[in-house]
Amino acid sequence: MDTTVLAVFVFVYIGMILGEIPGLALDRTGVALLGTIALLVMQRITPIDAWNAVDVSTIGLLLGLMVVSAQFRLGGFYAKLTRGLAAMNVSTGILLALLIAVSGVLSALLANDIVCLAMAPVLVEGCVRRRLNPVPFLLALACASNVGSAATLIGNPQNMLIGQVLHLSFSRYLLQAGVPSAVGLIAVWVVVRQRMGGRVNEEVSIPVVEAPDFNLWQTTKGFLVLTALVFVFLLTSWPREVVALAAAGLLLTSRRMASRDILGLVDWHLLVLFVGLFVVNHVVAESSILAQMMSVVNSSGINLAEPEWLFAVTVVLSNLVSNVPATMLLLPVATHPLAGPVLALASTLAGNLFIVGSIANIIVVDQADRLGVRITWWEHAKVGVPVTVLTLAIAAGWLWLLSRFFPSLLV
């Protein structure tokens, strides 16, 4: 066993667990990048092999879809939609249902992180205008974006990775995951509805939220491109990364919207995290450390080739190291026909358990805090824990039904 590689692996995944390295100003992305640099410096991998270790198709798909999402944000669509929802003359229960439905659907088609980033501050503004406590609505936004994003292979980064590496069919996965995601959104409404209550003080000032002005043409252009993307994904076997990059190129070819502004909204931080983890995991696999780790796991009676064990381990690991690193670690053992939907649903739905379980949660909490709305761990847990338990149970039950009565949907 190469102790140097093992030390780097442990260093990187401790960083994934903690979210940082104590005493250093490094977040998860910095830790993954530093691990990659260390392996290059210590000649455990060459620069060319490091480049080849990166799944370019996944990076390309992520980049292309981030540009599409940026088009909607710069076009003012998210702000216009959120303000329109908040201003509707409906009961709080219906308003909550509409918010969950909209954020769930948007997150299934666009990057859920960007949906939360764009909608959270405007949602706070709208709730304060109506003298409603924004916390339940913010928690609904975070939970619904995670649950909704599980429905498709383009809803979140880990699903994109799973779909690309395992070569999953976009339409078949939608049949496998669409039902538990839709039912899961209902579960989110039930849980949050029970936790609703309280109104903001009449003296609370309405926060000033800066958002791009709504541009009908730019938004329409974004919807036309997104609709074409979804149809191509559903009806053809064309490489998804090429199609997404072509869509990005089309949107970048604009006379009004500067490419600098669009690319400025791309989550380069996340892309670097992916690159770093691709390289570190590749070196670990090549050094046989991963095989030895899996051997130890199997000897303990845990067979990750079985979907039940894979589901359970994915849930636990996703809450230890975050869902993207967990997915990368478990993909090598994803050999069962159910492995794709098991990994995607379990890793995504598990993200609602704790605030740090998903980037969407962190974004919502951070955006709210900037506007003076504090969401504590306990407040999140009161919603996140029951939502996670219910949605995971729904997903597990649905996957069992598929394997028992509709095995044709798995192949």
The owner of tokens 């690309």 is 164
Q: What is the mean pLDDT of residues 238-248?
A: 95
> Is residue 198 pLDDT above 70, yes or no?
no
Quote the pLDDT of residue 204.
56
The rounded percent of the chain whose pLDDT value lies above 90 is 61
Please report the sign of the dihedral spanned by the C-alpha atoms of residue 118, residue 121, residue 125, residue 130. positive
- Is the pLDDT reported for residue 135 higher than 70? yes
pLDDT at 373 exceeding the cut of 60: yes
Q: Residue 366, class by beta-carbon neighbours within 10 Å (0-12 exposed, 13-18 middle, 19+ buried)? A: middle
All residues at 6 or more sequence positions from 89 whose CB lies less than 8 Å from its CB, including other chains: none
User: Could you give the angle at the alpha carbon of 212 between the alpha carbons of 145 and 250, nearest 5°?
Assistant: 80
pLDDT band at residue 208 using 50, 70 and 90 as cut-offs: low
Q: What mean pLDDT is predicted for residues 202-211?
A: 65
Per-residue DSSP letter, 381: H
Q: Which is nearest to 394 in space by CA: 191, 186, 93?
A: 186
Q: What pLDDT shows up at residue 197?
A: 65
What span, in angstroms and rounded, lies between the C-alpha atoms of 231 and 228?
5
Q: What is the pLDDT of residue 212?
A: 83
- Residue-wise pLDDT tens digits, 244-302: 999 999 999 988 889 999 999 888 988 999 999 999 989 988 887 777 877 787 788 88
Question: Percentage helix, strand, coil, to 5, in the chain?
Answer: 75, 0, 25
Output 281 or 202, whichever has higher pLDDT: 281
**Distance of alpha carbon 237 from alpha carbon 250, whole angstroms:** 20
Question: For the chain, what is the mean pLDDT?
Answer: 90
Non-local CB neighbours of 186 within 8 Å, separated by 6+ positions? none
User: What is the rounded distance in angstroms from the CA atom of residue 123 to the CA atom of residue 129?
Assistant: 10
For residue range 65-99, list pLDDT tens digits in order.
999 999 999 999 999 999 999 999 999 999 999 99
Q: What is the pLDDT of residues 163-174, one digit of tens each?
A: 999 999 999 999
Give residue 322's region: left, alpha or beta (phi > 0; psi -120 to 50): left
d(C-alpha 312, C-alpha 394), whole Å: 14
8-29 pLDDT per residue, tens:
999 998 988 888 888 888 888 9
